Chains A and B, each alone.
Chain A
């Protein structure tokens, strides 16, 4: 079924898959957001235990999505994988360390004789929640702000930035998206707790915290999006492949790809609706509305960065080194093989959905913590 597609169509297909994985990853960062709220929402040991266990059953989805996102990027756009991971070394290493310490923390935190003490594992979860979200946000923002690197004639890349990626954190636009993701993750976490934990105190605190986190999220998000609509973007000529700066490039992308604009606007509306309904009514399904909205919004942002002859990983050091979905991708054959592999994705989503419902059909409560099951 993929045999007759051109290389370009396969490249676009894979950019959509990558975008979708990135979008799902941002939604699943609610786990990270929740890890920064353990002490804000949980005032007693049991409350904190409920929060940790509620997140503890989901953290592996976020983790697996991140790893798959990395693997899929490697397989479909290896030049990006080589350039960004090898170049922005410190940013990625910090992200990875933040996830390394997360992975053991749920399992080890409440076990006796755990060497570092429960507090340390809670700190690990907190660090993961802060760094994981902000740095991933910064990394995504560089799709629009660019990085300093060069690619030689053998397609070997060299990072020219002063601080191996740390310089990216100083860019205010990168930072605004990073912080937007951070507060979004906290908002989503709160919505998730409202849906998943049966505890009045946690619920009422959640409702209050929702407002405190939704406001900064909106501010940072709007700052980023408004800047994005006015900034010069990185366009390439579809024939000569030369990269150049184009005024209002991303605004043009929205206008020239109305579908993407619709997905974006609908996504933003759903996020706001999910938050609003949870603040003003007794609705506990906000996580699903805002979750779908998050996925749509992030998907639209990724498509904005890579489609319509846009360089998705621009180099501000040497414009012509910028990566596009055309010059950074795998060969046609590999993309075709991987396209067949991608047919598994709906199947994977289906069984995740099925088991998620099985596990979440009853809210988690204090009684369950005393049951004969695995408890963190």
Chain B
């Protein structure tokens, strides 16, 4: 099926996707969140008629515009990269995966680009109310685009609503609503947008704190801080709720990812959640070393979060590779897990059966066709394993997943504390005097970006080697290109995106320094 596997090609293709996706994600969350903050501000302007609110709205709009342009610029490649670098994937699941991408374009991108023009250029051309409506539609449009792409991503993590058609050799959609309403997709969407609202709130607070430190734009800064802190705090509550939902989903659908997130090699009943720890460097599956150099954990919490039962068994990396533990399947029946080696064998049976089916079809041998299909269907669940040879290749990079996860969670809790403290100091009317705290708020801005990117690293590194969980590994998804070609485009992207990032930061800092102008832009 795949003629030869070129590991350099797979690795460069993965590196390129990671690079472009991470660069894109540097800009998206700010757009998702700040558009709502701007919409709140403009609503207050329209309600009160206070020109200071208009000035405030326009100031943040300028920063949004700079960020939005580079978000668009880094985004286009992602729409096409599935085809350019993952063409086998594009055929194998395009029947399902293409739809949300197309809907995203039709439903969201035009909404954003149409109303953004009014938002920026329409101040003197349309009524106040229509302008306000446009600003809200930009916020809704950008969040709608997040909805569709995250539904698509959620589907890759837990494919539903489809069946495999042996005649076309691909997966085909049989239930759109199951794809659209997949709990993992919806949860992912909510977790991602609320994390973006938190990031945007931290950004607005950080920039405003700088004004306060400089003794400039006090009214603008204070008003912005209040809006952002409330928006951030409310979003944080949803963020925790959906984060908990994510942990539960991962435990059910991607137990290997959960094990990697916690650095858990040896599973146990009543497993604890690591609060602070360090996985043993260079740890391998059967080397007998301890899982951690040190750890502080909350007893039983991992079992509870993952299975809603404090004594539930959480399988570790080793258990999942070797099998033999009991788990409850989706029908609520107890099953014994099979080893990765057995899964690989079953996967190979499925792949061979599909190939036999194709040959039998050509020879019009109906009996053989039927036989092959039976074997194929019995083993299809493990189809993707058939492309692998080494049972340990189902283990993702544990340290990267572990640290990204813990950095994300720890920072997430710090942001909540920040929002609460901001509101407390504002309430006590002591914020301006707390210079150390204002500095801390500025330092927190880059941390919000780190937390957001870490979240994606957990989600994507943690699910390796799969592009589609259990059905298609990266090695079988890739376009058959020379690794050198991908290497060249990788470095081109690095060069171009880095240059644009530097430009964006320089322009952004300059505009913050200039501050709000009566003219707005």
Contacts and interface: CB of A to CB of B under 8 A. Distances in A.
Interface of A: 57-58, 60-61, 63-64, 66-72, 74-76, 78-79, 81-87, 89-90, 92-93, 96-97, 99-104, 106-108, 111-116, 153-159, 164, 330-331, 333-334, 337-338, 341-342, 344-345, 348, 351-352, 355, 358-359, 361-362, 371-375
Given A86-B479, A101-B496, A103-B76, A115 B521 contact: no
Interface in B31-50: none
B492 interface: yes
A71 B80 CA distance: 8
B170 interface: yes
A41 B354 CA distance: 62
Contacts of A114: 503, 506-507
Contacts of A89: 84, 479, 481, 485
7 closest residue pairs by CB, A with B: A78-B94, A86-B87, A85-B83, A68-B105, A103-B73, A75-B98, A60-B113
Contacts of B170: 78, 155
B508 to A, nearest CB: 9
A33 to B, nearest CB: 19
A75 B99 contact: yes
Interface stretch (B122-130, B260-268, B289-297, B433-441): B122-130
Given A63-B72, A82-B90, A107 B65 contact: yes
Contacts of A57: 117, 121
B275 interface: no
Given A57-B121, A104-B70, A333-B172, 10 more contacts: A63-B113, A70-B80, A75-B94, A75-B98, A78-B98, A99-B76, A103-B76, A111-B66, A111-B510, A334-B173
B335 interface: no
Q: How large is the interface on B (under 10, 10 to 19, 20 to 34, 35 or more residues)?
A: 35 or more
A375 B521 contact: yes
A331 B485 contact: no
Identify whether the interface residues of A are mostly helix, strand, loop, or mixed. Answer: helix
B480 A155 contact: no
B298 interface: no
B73 A359 contact: no
A171 B154 CA distance: 42
Contacts of B75: 67
B101 A351 contact: no
B82 interface: yes
Interface string B77-111: 10110111111101100111111011111110111
A67 B109 contact: yes
B345 interface: no
B90 A154 contact: no
Given A330-B95, A337-B99, A372 B84 contact: no
Contacts of B172: 330-331, 333-334
Contact of B115 (A90, A154, A355): A355
A101 B506 CA distance: 17
A106 B84 contact: no
B181 interface: no
A157 B114 contact: no
Contacts of A107: 65-66, 68-69
A158 to B, nearest CB: 5
A258 B500 CA distance: 50
B124 A372 contact: yes
Contact of A76 (B69, B102, B121): B102
B324 interface: no
Contacts of B98: 71, 74-76, 78, 81, 330, 334
Nearest to A375: B521
Nearest to A58: B117
Nearest to A80: B83
Contacts of B105: 64, 67-72
A156 B88 contact: yes
A75 B101 contact: yes
A61 B113 contact: yes
A355 B1 CA distance: 51
A53 to B, nearest CB: 8
